[in-house]
Structure 1
């Protein structure tokens, strides 16, 4: 099966598994609250799990779930603690009850309470210590490693036990440890030798995740880990290579040669992922992304612009760069940059309004078209567009573009 077919199948599966569940109604919630009182402990646990799946729609069950934290069955208590984190109610009962659950005699209840407290914005050192403490138990280390994920770097005290799990004979134990170490990030550096080993070809089920965890160690270790990461990318299939490409930017500027090789490797999906990963470099990645926007690579240029916007780069800074690029460009690239300017909010509309009045005819037309695509969001540009319509020496093409843009904006603006 070729790369395109693999990605198409994966996309179809993703759509199926991520399709939203039907919204829970009041009757559904009430039914589950009743089941929380059932004499059968398995029914009570299932009810709590169902409420967890309902999420915020089950807010009316918060009080009942708090009561279930005192259920005699540990499975029900753990399920209730997990559900409270997903239901999302924060009041005078929920948080104190979850804090008390951190001292429950059952470790799964303690872990569930710790994760839910963090989800509700009340994660504490005590919650972290519950997770780290559970990592030290062979019976509970898998659940504890999974609980590390939301705490990320705050769970760095657990790194020694996670490193030990990398040597376990069970690939499942190794897998959850790798994921937890990746979540912790740079403080996981003691795991570097173990991760390099698991990125080898003798560990086909683990090597991709190990490579991603190596990326998470950050720029300090880039030179040491990049050769191993590139080797993995050459030897795995497109789906696994994509996951690594998305993480490359975490290694900082040292990863740019590999990122650019992935961009030019002939697979557009991986090229886009590698481009987006540059945003993980923060300020150091901004000039690189701007260079890609200005390049002849229209696909990655669009991704780079979207990434810059997602990084919350100050709009004025981007407009200054994009304005220069647009006036120096022609054809599709000029139009693409105009569209990106328009996506920068009111400041972008103001910049396009100015560009529509100055420069060469082609750049003016592109600015006008970009304003029209914004419809009602570009209402502030109408005076500039009407000025163009009043220009006696403007070409018929310029007048036509301005008339069309005005019509699109006014239609969207209800005028």
Structure 2
């Protein structure tokens, strides 16, 4: 299981999807006391440092995406400087089950262990901890080539938890000569958890050799269903091996264990989108009792775009799901289908008008309608009402405006002019108006004289409002709007 933050898909996902507003904060000064004053400077410094450990961990927790926070990075470095005395509290903090915190603590423990080899054995022993979150955090800490020798030894430990964790943390992209035979042997282990870990670790290699493929294909015959599914899931990532993996993954969607179903649907989502066997299975998975499985199934459809028109009725049904994330995924999938999804218009409009729904989902519904272009012409009055409503958030109003731009930009112009005096929408309105004017300039011959005269009049009204504004509207957009108006008049 490749979990090194420097190269994992997970960390890239965090960077692309999450924005962090950093609050300025300084680490608390170290407290002194009469008792400390009676001790040597070295003892005082040691006790002072140890006393700060809970606060430093708290800083990591408060700024979970620690790589974006100078304060959190400083706290991490202080913990590394404290070293081994910080390890017990760091390991205990893993129980909080906070994904980003777990990665931060894992990297901190890794750095400490690289400085102090005695910490490595502590981490190896913790691979056998009864607490799952502690085991995961320790695996993250040990996912570095510098621990390979210790992990190879731990992979032969009598404790199956330690063996399993060590196998997952081993990097096959490192010393293949020593690691590959160990993993092959682990696939024959009598403990199913060991065999499953070996299959996952084998498939995590950057390069899938013919030998690895052969080993994974043997895993398809394992008596334990979870091993078969893990092997099939890994083979599904290799284009030439999907034929052997697909039937097992489809069958796995009937498994009582939701984790196995989730692994199966995630693997199926990577198989050729045009595979005729997959779509009916994906549609059934959209009604799975586990929301994670439903989400993954809809996400697979989103990637298929217009090639999955048969899923539209199921997607419309998913718009009623009690889980907001499922509704969000369904809206996005429908938007990707454009006008093919026009039967979803009534439900999307209902979501757009529902003030109990999240702004994100309401905005997404507006954008999905926009993707239908002229086929969503009947929704223009609703979108204009959302845009002109001063109670609408900026996010929602902008989404409505962008949708209108795709459906009927002429109807959008006066609505944007109305919002220009509103400080909340002033800049967005000016930018969108400039874009509309530019597009009209490029396609001037497509408009009647009446349409041009009306648009020019509205653009000039907009420019007068902008000229009297005290706010900073991007000068290049204002200049572009003036130039477009001048050319439209010619």
TM score, norm. by length of structure 1: 0.53
- Secondary structure of 2:340's counterpart equals helix
More helix by share: 1
Alignment of 1:45-56 (within 5 A): 49-54=136-141
Does 2:352 match 1:271?
Answer: no
Deviations 1:335-384 (A, max 9, x none): 2436868xx9xxxxxxxxxxxxx98222456796234xxxxxx9xx8xx9
User: How many Å separate the matches in 2 of 1:231 and 1:256?
Assistant: 14
What are the residue-to-residue correspondences of 1:359-378 with 2, within 5 Å? Answer: 360-364=463-467, 369-371=472-474
The 5 A counterparts of 1:1-400 are: 17-21=98-102, 22-23=104-105, 24=108, 28-30=112-114, 33-34=117-118, 36-37=120-121, 43=126, 49-54=136-141, 61-69=144-152, 71-73=155-157, 76=162, 78-83=164-169, 93=174, 103-106=184-187, 107-118=195-206, 122=207, 134-139=219-224, 140-144=227-231, 147=234, 151=237, 156-157=242-243, 158-168=245-255, 170=257, 172-184=259-271, 186-187=273-274, 189-199=276-286, 204-205=289-290, 208-209=294-295, 212=298, 215-216=301-302, 218-219=304-305, 222-234=308-320, 236-249=322-335, 251=337, 253-255=339-341, 257-258=343-344, 261-262=347-348, 264-265=350-351, 266=354, 267=357, 268-274=359-365, 296=384, 297-298=386-387, 299-300=395-396, 302-303=398-399, 329-332=416-419, 335-337=426-428, 360-364=463-467, 369-371=472-474
1:211 and 1:232 in contact (8 A); partners too: no
Q: 2: distance between equivalents of 1:234 and 1:97?
A: 53
- Cα distance in 2 for partners of 1:260, 1:230 equals 10
SS in 2 for 1:369: coil
Paired positions, count: 314
Report the Cα distance in structure 2 between the residues aligned to 1:340 and 1:94, rounded to whole angstroms.
55
Residues 43 and 210 (structure 1), Cα distance of their counterparts in 2 relative to 1, 3 Å cut: closer
Show CA shifts across 1:211-250 (max 9, x none). Answer: 5166257246533221123224336454542343344445
Looking at structure 2, the residues matched to 339 and 138 of structure 1 have their Cα atoms a distance apart, in angstroms, of 65
Using a 3 Å threshold, how does the CA distance of structure 1 residues 123 and 254 change in structure 2: closer, same or farther?
Answer: farther
Q: Which has the larger radius of gyration?
A: 2
- Distance in 2, matches of 1:51 and 1:278, equals 47
C-alpha distance in 1 between matches for 2:313 and 2:285:
14
Distance 2:261 2:220 in 1: 13
Q: Where in structure 2 are there 5+ consecutive unaligned residues?
A: 1-63, 65-96, 188-194, 388-394, 436-460, 480-490
Give the direction of change, closer, same or farther, for the CA distance of 1:32–1:77 in structure 2 (3 Å limit).
Answer: farther
1:102/1:127 contact within 8 Å kept: no
SS of 1:163's equivalent in the other structure is helix
Hey, what's the Cα distance between the residues in 2 that align with 1:249 and 1:115?
34
Q: Aligned-pair RMSD on alpha carbons?
A: 5.5
User: Counterparts of 1:94 and 1:41 in 2: how far apart (Å)?
Assistant: 19
The question of whether the paired residues in 1 share the 8 Å contact of 2:167 and 2:183 is answered with no
Distance 2:221 2:128 in 1: 27
Runs of 4+ in 1 over 6 A off after TM superposition: 152-155, 276-279, 284-289, 304-307, 325-328
The separation in 1 between residues aligned to 2:297 and 2:101, in whole angstroms, is 31
Unaligned runs of 5+ in 1: 1-14, 308-317, 345-357, 372-377, 385-415
Matches of 2:414 and 2:210, distance apart in 1: 54
Does the 8 A contact of 1:326 with 1:338 survive in 2?
A: no
Q: CA deviation at 1:156?
A: 3.4
Per the TM alignment, residue 196 of structure 1 is displaced from its structure 2 partner at its CA by 3.6
Once the two structures are superposed, residues 44-73 of structure 1 have per-residue CA deviations (whole angstroms, 9 ceiling, x without a partner) of 55698544334xxx67x5222355235323
Deviation at 1:162, TM superposition (A): 0.7
Give deviations 1:368-412, integer Å, cap 9, x for gaps.
Answer: 6234xxxxxx9xx8xx9xxxxxxxxxxxxxxxxxxxxxxxxxxxx
| Cα deviation 1:265-306 (Å, max 9, x = unaligned) | 223332234467799xxxx899999x99xx645444645899
TM-score after normalising by structure 2: 0.46
Q: How many Å apart are 1:190 and its aligned residue? A: 0.8
Distance 1:271 1:366 in 2: 30
Counterpart secondary structure, 1:258: helix
